Amino acid sequence: MMVILALFSGWGFIQAAPLPQPMQSMKLVGSGTLDYAIWKVYTASLYTPTGEWKSDHALGLHIHYHIQLDGKKIAERSIHEMKEQGMPHREKWGKWKYQLKTIIPSVKANTHLSAIYIPGSGTQFYKGDQWIGSIPGDDFGVSFFGIWLNEGTSEPKLRRHLLGKR
Protein backbone atom coordinates (compact mmCIF):
# COMPACT_ATOMS: atom_id res chain seq x y z
CA MET A 1 0.00 0.00 0.00
CA MET A 2 2.95 2.28 -0.20
CA VAL A 3 1.97 5.11 -2.44
CA ILE A 4 4.27 6.94 -4.79
CA LEU A 5 5.25 9.99 -2.84
CA ALA A 6 7.22 11.87 -5.45
CA LEU A 7 4.09 13.91 -6.11
CA PHE A 8 3.20 14.93 -2.57
CA SER A 9 3.13 18.34 -1.02
CA GLY A 10 1.54 20.04 1.97
CA TRP A 11 0.25 18.96 5.33
CA GLY A 12 -3.42 18.56 6.06
CA PHE A 13 -5.54 19.23 9.08
CA ILE A 14 -8.31 16.84 10.01
CA GLN A 15 -11.52 18.03 8.45
CA ALA A 16 -14.77 16.13 8.72
CA ALA A 17 -16.38 15.15 5.45
CA PRO A 18 -19.72 13.56 4.92
CA LEU A 19 -19.72 9.88 4.13
CA PRO A 20 -21.35 8.89 0.85
CA GLN A 21 -25.04 8.12 1.34
CA PRO A 22 -24.63 4.32 0.95
CA MET A 23 -22.06 4.31 3.80
CA GLN A 24 -24.10 6.41 6.22
CA SER A 25 -25.97 3.39 7.56
CA MET A 26 -22.76 1.36 7.94
CA LYS A 27 -20.88 1.05 11.20
CA LEU A 28 -17.19 1.66 11.79
CA VAL A 29 -15.03 -1.45 12.14
CA GLY A 30 -11.70 0.32 12.63
CA SER A 31 -9.35 2.96 11.29
CA GLY A 32 -5.65 3.57 10.95
CA THR A 33 -3.10 5.82 9.32
CA LEU A 34 -0.63 5.02 6.57
CA ASP A 35 2.68 6.70 7.33
CA TYR A 36 5.70 6.91 5.05
CA ALA A 37 8.92 8.04 6.72
CA ILE A 38 7.87 11.25 8.52
CA TRP A 39 4.74 11.85 6.43
CA LYS A 40 1.19 10.97 7.25
CA VAL A 41 -0.17 9.86 3.85
CA TYR A 42 -3.79 9.06 4.69
CA THR A 43 -6.16 7.86 7.34
CA ALA A 44 -8.40 4.97 6.28
CA SER A 45 -11.59 3.77 7.95
CA LEU A 46 -13.40 0.50 7.28
CA TYR A 47 -17.19 0.29 7.54
CA THR A 48 -19.59 -2.66 7.29
CA PRO A 49 -23.34 -3.04 7.85
CA THR A 50 -22.75 -4.62 11.29
CA GLY A 51 -19.48 -3.04 12.40
CA GLU A 52 -17.78 -6.44 12.07
CA TRP A 53 -15.63 -7.49 9.14
CA LYS A 54 -16.77 -10.46 7.11
CA SER A 55 -15.15 -10.96 3.74
CA ASP A 56 -18.40 -11.85 1.99
CA HIS A 57 -20.40 -8.81 3.19
CA ALA A 58 -20.65 -5.23 1.99
CA LEU A 59 -17.60 -3.10 2.75
CA GLY A 60 -16.96 0.61 2.80
CA LEU A 61 -13.49 2.17 2.84
CA HIS A 62 -13.19 5.88 3.55
CA ILE A 63 -9.78 7.50 2.97
CA HIS A 64 -8.85 10.96 4.21
CA TYR A 65 -5.70 12.11 2.41
CA HIS A 66 -3.16 14.25 4.23
CA ILE A 67 -0.91 14.98 1.23
CA GLN A 68 -1.20 15.62 -2.50
CA LEU A 69 -1.05 12.60 -4.84
CA ASP A 70 -1.67 12.14 -8.55
CA GLY A 71 -4.80 10.08 -9.27
CA LYS A 72 -3.17 8.08 -12.04
CA LYS A 73 -0.34 7.11 -9.68
CA ILE A 74 -2.87 6.03 -7.05
CA ALA A 75 -4.54 3.83 -9.69
CA GLU A 76 -1.21 2.34 -10.80
CA ARG A 77 -0.20 1.63 -7.22
CA SER A 78 -3.55 -0.03 -6.54
CA ILE A 79 -3.05 -2.47 -9.42
CA HIS A 80 0.56 -3.05 -8.31
CA GLU A 81 -0.66 -3.96 -4.81
CA MET A 82 -3.22 -6.39 -6.25
CA LYS A 83 -0.48 -8.05 -8.32
CA GLU A 84 1.96 -8.19 -5.38
CA GLN A 85 -0.58 -10.09 -3.33
CA GLY A 86 -0.91 -12.66 -6.09
CA MET A 87 -4.48 -11.72 -6.84
CA PRO A 88 -5.94 -13.81 -9.66
CA HIS A 89 -7.61 -12.31 -12.70
CA ARG A 90 -4.38 -11.33 -14.47
CA GLU A 91 -6.37 -10.94 -17.69
CA LYS A 92 -8.40 -8.13 -16.05
CA TRP A 93 -5.56 -6.03 -14.61
CA GLY A 94 -5.16 -3.85 -17.70
CA LYS A 95 -8.88 -3.12 -17.87
CA TRP A 96 -9.06 -2.39 -14.15
CA LYS A 97 -6.04 -0.06 -14.35
CA TYR A 98 -7.68 1.88 -17.17
CA GLN A 99 -10.96 2.09 -15.24
CA LEU A 100 -9.25 3.22 -12.03
CA LYS A 101 -7.25 5.86 -13.91
CA THR A 102 -10.49 7.33 -15.27
CA ILE A 103 -12.23 7.25 -11.87
CA ILE A 104 -9.62 8.13 -9.22
CA PRO A 105 -8.98 11.88 -9.12
CA SER A 106 -5.80 13.55 -8.01
CA VAL A 107 -6.00 14.39 -4.33
CA LYS A 108 -4.66 17.03 -2.01
CA ALA A 109 -4.66 17.40 1.75
CA ASN A 110 -8.20 16.98 3.12
CA THR A 111 -9.54 15.17 0.05
CA HIS A 112 -11.84 12.29 1.03
CA LEU A 113 -12.30 9.30 -1.28
CA SER A 114 -14.50 6.31 -0.54
CA ALA A 115 -15.09 2.91 -2.10
CA ILE A 116 -18.12 0.78 -1.37
CA TYR A 117 -18.17 -2.88 -2.38
CA ILE A 118 -21.50 -4.70 -2.44
CA PRO A 119 -21.21 -8.39 -3.35
CA GLY A 120 -23.12 -9.04 -6.56
CA SER A 121 -23.20 -5.33 -7.46
CA GLY A 122 -19.58 -4.18 -7.74
CA THR A 123 -17.63 -1.26 -6.32
CA GLN A 124 -18.77 2.37 -6.24
CA PHE A 125 -16.32 5.26 -5.81
CA TYR A 126 -16.98 8.66 -4.24
CA LYS A 127 -15.12 11.91 -3.75
CA GLY A 128 -16.62 13.38 -0.60
CA ASP A 129 -20.26 12.44 -0.95
CA GLN A 130 -20.31 12.71 -4.76
CA TRP A 131 -20.35 9.53 -6.88
CA ILE A 132 -17.38 9.48 -9.32
CA GLY A 133 -17.58 6.03 -10.90
CA SER A 134 -17.98 2.31 -10.50
CA ILE A 135 -16.36 -0.96 -11.50
CA PRO A 136 -18.66 -3.97 -11.78
CA GLY A 137 -17.95 -7.46 -10.55
CA ASP A 138 -17.01 -9.26 -7.40
CA ASP A 139 -13.57 -10.07 -8.80
CA PHE A 140 -12.59 -6.41 -8.74
CA GLY A 141 -14.20 -5.67 -5.36
CA VAL A 142 -12.48 -8.57 -3.61
CA SER A 143 -9.13 -7.72 -5.21
CA PHE A 144 -9.36 -3.98 -4.54
CA PHE A 145 -10.38 -4.31 -0.89
CA GLY A 146 -7.73 -7.02 -0.55
CA ILE A 147 -5.11 -4.27 -0.88
CA TRP A 148 -5.95 -3.34 2.71
CA LEU A 149 -7.64 -6.45 4.10
CA ASN A 150 -5.79 -9.52 2.79
CA GLU A 151 -3.36 -11.17 5.18
CA GLY A 152 -0.63 -10.59 2.58
CA THR A 153 -1.09 -6.81 2.53
CA SER A 154 2.05 -4.67 2.39
CA GLU A 155 0.73 -2.76 5.43
CA PRO A 156 -0.16 -5.33 8.12
CA LYS A 157 -0.33 -2.72 10.91
CA LEU A 158 -2.90 -0.70 8.97
CA ARG A 159 -4.85 -3.91 8.28
CA ARG A 160 -4.99 -4.71 12.00
CA HIS A 161 -6.27 -1.22 12.77
CA LEU A 162 -8.90 -1.38 10.01
CA LEU A 163 -10.12 -4.69 11.39
CA GLY A 164 -10.42 -3.15 14.86
CA LYS A 165 -7.43 -5.02 16.28
CA ARG A 166 -4.49 -3.29 17.93
Give the count of domains, the chain.
Answer: 1
In a domain, 49, yes or no: yes
Question: What's the whole-number mean pLDDT along residues 66-92?
Answer: 89
Question: What's the whole-number mean pLDDT along residues 76-96?
Answer: 86
Average pLDDT, rounded, for the chain: 88
> What is the reported pTM?
0.86
In a domain, 5, yes or no: no
Range of the domain at 135: 21-162
In a domain, 86, yes or no: yes
In a domain, 3, yes or no: no
Instruction: Name the percent of the chain lying above pLDDT 90.
Output: 75
Nearby residues of 32 by Cβ (< 8 Å), 6 or more positions away = 43, 44, 157, 158, 160, 161, 162
